[in-house]
Amino acid sequence: MTAVQVTAAKTPLSKKSKERLFNSASVPPEKCIFCKIVNKELPSHVIFEDNEYIAFLDNHPFNEGHTLVCPKKHGETVWDMSQEEIGGLFMLASRVSKALVKATGADGFRFVQNNGEAANQIVPHVHVHTIPVRLSDKGKWLDRKKLPPEDMERIAQSIKGFIE
């Protein structure tokens, strides 16, 4: 290693960190797709909702039952949330994962949570993808699907029945 590489390697991450992550899709809350879903301005297949969080089916799921778990309060990344809010988000994602596995007969599930455009965050509102998977999905990157509205509603109703 050169002297420059050694110095860079010893620099604490906190001194390199940013306050915001780049996302070319950044929008104010009034233009955010997920805020519009929260405010019932756009249709969705909601499987859970309380005062702080909402969970709804992804319109282009990787697998049947793929659900997005979001805080209702707008924020682009987890850096915009308190520790308590992050904890609440993932506690709900855990509850949703149990319902997804039961409703779909899945063998497991994935949590995917992207922050910033470099991480493939497409919608600039914090959300956790909760994706049911089967053993046959092991080692594969799944393609997105488009399901008919009646299938989406059937899936949503089934998952709702298993939310604890």
Which residues are annotated as catalytic?
127
Residue among 108, 91, 92 at smallest CA distance from 142: 108
Sign of the torsion angle spanned by Cα atoms 41, 44, 47, 53: negative
Beta strands in the chain (DSSP E): 46-49, 53-57, 67-71, 108-112, 128-133
Alpha-carbon distance 145 to 64, whole Å?
Answer: 9
Alpha-carbon distance 7 to 118, whole Å?
Answer: 26
